[in-house]
Structure 1
């Protein structure tokens, strides 16, 4: 398969922060942002693979700065690294104070998606062709993050073996 540039999977979504989007601290509710991150990242994964995709994991979400009702929030996502059928998607969240124009990185996230065929089986995806310095740095460190994901998944599977599904009451 021919490598595809990150720009072909890039998604940019900008929205306002409204009163129903904030928590008791008058900042954007983390769950709302996480939902938007997953939605945006899934579009990037689908654009890269041109297949149906499923979220395999949310590897990390780092909330770096609060997002307030006076801000807009811009999510930028793109595929940074691929395995055989899996894709790592990076999401950068930028908050902008709409009155002052001040912009800041409010959050970053890495998610993993798997491309699936019409029968629900994993299907191969093309490799990534990074072009910018940001894309190259994210791509170069992708193998290390993938190994960390594999180790974390093994630990989660081991833990699941001793967890119970019975009701505690």
Structure 2
């Protein structure tokens, strides 16, 4: 790995906190999946922009897994990291966790992988730096990225 043109995963890590409000929920008082997807797309874009120092576009949302609901009043914490990079693309892993404000109980709500492409001032894809995974979880995501990329390409 060329570490001269790579960025620590910690540099581009992004964390956001949000409150689940009534307008974000369905008739059962749980957050709409589309609202979660919007939050995920936004944090993935911010993370990719921080990593590449360019504007980015969403190329794909490869996998979204809704694991548990978030209810009105829950506190959502979204965390995104650059799992791997290509020449002009970045695979972003996003984890959404909800916290019950009364009990403090935390549950993973959603996990997701997105591919973002960096665009230069001319609007064309532009090269991005590599990523240096730091934690054990980041290293696992980094090492398994080629298999996810292979599956993405097979779907085309």
- TM-score grouping bracket, smaller chain normalisation: over 0.9
Residues 54 and 116 of structure 1 are in contact (CA less than 8 Å); yes or no, is this contact kept in structure 2? yes
Question: Structure 1-normalised TM-score?
Answer: 0.88
- Matched residue of 2:64: which SS? strand
Q: Give distance in 1, aligned partners of 2:29 and 2:69.
A: 9
- The 5 A counterparts of 1:9-158 are 9-152=12-155, 154=156
Contact in 2 for aligned 1:55/1:112 (Cα 8 Å): yes
Separation (CA, whole Å) in 2 of partners of 1:121 and 1:16 = 36
CA distance in 2, matches of 1:83, 1:25: 41
Q: Note the C-alpha offset of 1:138.
A: 0.6
Question: Which runs of 4 or more aligned residues in structure 1 lie more than 2 Å from their structure 2 counterparts after TM superposition?
Answer: none
Stretches of structure 2 that go unaligned for 5 or more consecutive residues are none
- Provide the C-alpha distance between the structure 1 equivalents of 2:120 and 2:5, rounded to a whole number of angstroms: 19
TM-score (norm 2): 0.95
Deviation at 1:80, TM superposition (A): 0.6
Q: Secondary structure at the match of 1:119?
A: coil
Q: Computing the radius of gyration over CA atoms, which structure comes out larger, 1 or 2?
A: 1
Cα deviation for residue 36 of structure 1 reads 0.5
Gaps of at least 5 residues in structure 1 are 155-169
